[in-house]
Amino acid sequence: MNLTLQHRKKVMYRMRRWLAAICCAAPLAHTSARAGDLSYVPLFNGERSDSLNLWGGPFTAGNIASFSKQSSVVHSGAAAYRANLGSIPSNSFGFFQTFSSALTGEEEARQDRDVTQYQSLEGYVQNDTGGPLSFSVEIKDYRDDNANKAIRNYTLPAGGWTKITAPLDLSAGWNIAGNPDLTRTYALSFVVNPISGPVNGSLYLDDFALVEKGPSIDPATAPIQTIVERLAHRQFTALWAARNKTSGLIPNRSDNVDEGALNTTAGVVWLLPSAIRHGWVTQTDANGYLGELVASLNSNRDQTTFLPSRKLDLKTAAPSGAEESSIDAAFIALALHNFKSQSATPASLRNSINDLENRFDFSAFVRPDAYNLSYTPGQGFNDNVYKGYTNENKVISLAADLNQAHHVPLASMWNKDTGRTLASLVDSNDKFLTYSFGTDYRAPFAQALINLFVDTSDRGADNFPDRALARNPWINFVKEENEINDKLAQLGRPNFFQADAGQGAAGYQP
C-alpha cells in the first residue's frame, strides 16, 4: 500500500467518525425512532441556539398568543417548542408558521426549498389543552397564498406525545387547493381547530424532520461512498432549490433574502456537470440556469472595475458591498470554465460563458508577493488582504492562467505563496505546510482548497525553490488532516473535528 492510499483511508476513517458523532449522538431524553439513520434530516427540534429552523427560516406566532422555545416539556434533547394557543373559540381556529428563509413580501426574492427529495415529514406534538383537537399540517409554495396549498388533518388526543407523519407525495389524505409546487416550498403552517367547545392551553412540538427517499443509511457502518453520495445530493439539492429563479444567484445565507454570493454560487455551478450525470438536474435546466447567471454576472461586471463583486443583490445582481475579491472571483471563474468545457454545453452558451470569463481581469491583482489584494472602488487596492492565505494564491493562479483576454502564465504565480512553514501537532513525521506568515494552523477547508478544483495527488512535490518546503498540495492536506485527527485523539476528543472560519479570523485558530 502506498503512502497516499494509507492517508486517504485515514481521512475517510476520520470522516466516518465525525459523521457518526453528528448523526448518532444519544439524545438526552427519549431515544429518537430514527437514531443512527442518515436519511432522517432534522427540520426543527429546539436544539438550535437561535430561533430559526434548520432551513434557516423563522417561526411566527400567526394568530395564537405566542410561540417560543422552552426546556420543560421535551420529546428528546434539551428543548422543544411551545405554541401557546391562548383561547380559541369553538367556531374559530389558531395557526402558527415557519418559513424556508427570512421573510419577504416579494415572491421573486423568497428562498424556497425543494421537498420532493423527501418521502415524508414527521414529528411529535403534545396536546396540553385538556381535550382533543383537530391539528392540520399545511404546505404552501413560493406564492404563499390560499389558492395553492396542501392540508393534511390529524386528531390530537389530550396529553402525551402524538407522532405526526405526512407523506410528501401529496397522496391520499391530503386536501389540495390549486397546484402547490413542492419543489418551491416556502411556508409550513400548523392549524388548530377545536373539536368540542373552546380551547385553552398549549401544544408542544419536537423532533420534526424530513425523511429522505431511498434506503436508511447507518453512518457508523455504511460504505463511505454511500454516505458521501447522500450528503452531496442533499447539499446540492438544497443550494439548487435556494437559487434566485431570476438572477440565478445563490444566497449568501439562508436567513438573508437580499444578498447573493460568488462563492456559494460557484459551488452550485462547479457541481452542475456531476449533478447532471447523477440525474439530479437535467441538462436543459442546467443550460437555462447558466444563461440566467451569465446575464446576471455580466450586469454586475458592468458596475465593477476588474472583477464581479464578492456579494451581489440577490434579485438584480448589482454590487452589494463593493469588494472585488480575487479568490471569490476565481471560484466562479473556474466553475464557469468547467461547465463551458463539457461536451454537452451548447455552442452558444459556451461562447457566452467564454466572453464573460474574459471580462475577469486577474492580471490587475498580480504583485511580486502573490495575489494578496482585494479591490474596492473609491479605496483602490487593499494590500495583504489575502497575504499568506493557504492555497488561495494557487486557485487564483489557475483562473488567471485560463483567462484568454488577461492571461497570466501559471508558472509565474504558482509558487508565490511564500509564507510556508512546516509544522506538526503530534507526529513530526507528518509535518505539513501551514501556508501562513504567522504561526496559526490554517483550517482544513483552506488546506483543501486547490484540491477542490484540480487533482494534484499524483504529481509529486511542486517546484518551490526551497526544496525543503516543496510539497504536493493533496499530500500536505492529508498530512494535516492526519495530524488534526491524532491531536484530537490525544485530547480525548476523537469524534470532534476542526471547523473552518465562522465569524472573523478567530475561526481559523487551531
Per mean pLDDT, which range of 127-136, 137-146, 291-300, 494-503 is the poorest? 494-503
Q: Which of 162-166, 343-347, 393-397, 505-509 has the lowest mean pLDDT?
A: 505-509
pLDDT at 8 exceeding the cut of 70: no
- Model pLDDT for residues 254-271, shown as the tens digit of each residue: 888 889 999 999 999 999
- Nine-digit cell string for 341: 468545457
Give 357-377 pLDDT, tens digit per residue: 999 999 999 988 778 788 998
Q: Buried (b) or exposed (e) across 447-469, using 16+ Cβ within 10 A?
A: bbbbbebeebbeeeebebeeeee
Average pLDDT over residues 135-152: 96
Asked if pLDDT for residue 172 goes beyond 90, the answer is no
Out of 127-136, 386-395, 412-421, give the one with best mean pLDDT: 127-136
| pLDDT score at 349 | 98
Question: What pLDDT score was predicted for residue 13?
Answer: 41
Whether the predicted pLDDT of 403 surpasses 90: yes
Give the chain's length. Answer: 510
Q: For 129-134, what is the mean pLDDT?
A: 94
The dihedral through the CA atoms of 195, 196, 198, 202 has a sign that is negative
Percentage of residues in the chain having pLDDT higher than 70: 87
With 80 as the cut, is the pLDDT of residue 215 above it? yes
Q: If you ran DSSP here, which 8-state letter would residue 228 be given?
A: H
Q: If we measure between CA atoms, which residue out of 375, 400, 398 comes closest to residue 385?
A: 375
Predicted confidence at residue 31, as pLDDT, reads 34
* % of residues, the chain, pLDDT over 90: 69
Q: Evaluate if residue 505 carries a pLDDT over 70.
A: no
Please tell me the predicted confidence (pLDDT) of residue 22: 32
- Confidence tier at 201 by pLDDT (50, 70, 90): very high
The pLDDT tens digits of the residues spanning 313-326 come to 999 999 998 899 99
- Residues 508, 499: Cα–Cα separation, whole Å: 8
Q: What SS3 class is residue 376? A: strand
Lowest mean pLDDT across 25-29, 40-44, 311-315, 496-500: 25-29
Q: What is the pLDDT of residues 62-109, one digit of tens each?
A: 999 999 999 999 999 999 999 999 999 998 999 999 999 888 877 777
Give residue 493's pLDDT.
87
pLDDT at residue 250 tops 90:
yes
**Residue 498 pLDDT:** 64
The C-alpha torsion from 111 through 115 and 117 to 119, rounded to 10°, is 170
- Please provide the average confidence, as pLDDT, over all residues in the chain: 87
What DSSP string runs through 305-339?
SSS--SEEETTT--BSS--EEHHHHHHHHHHHHHH
Angle at 485 between CA 482 and CA 486, to 5 degrees: 90
Closest to 480 measured CA to CA, from 425, 405, 420, 404: 425
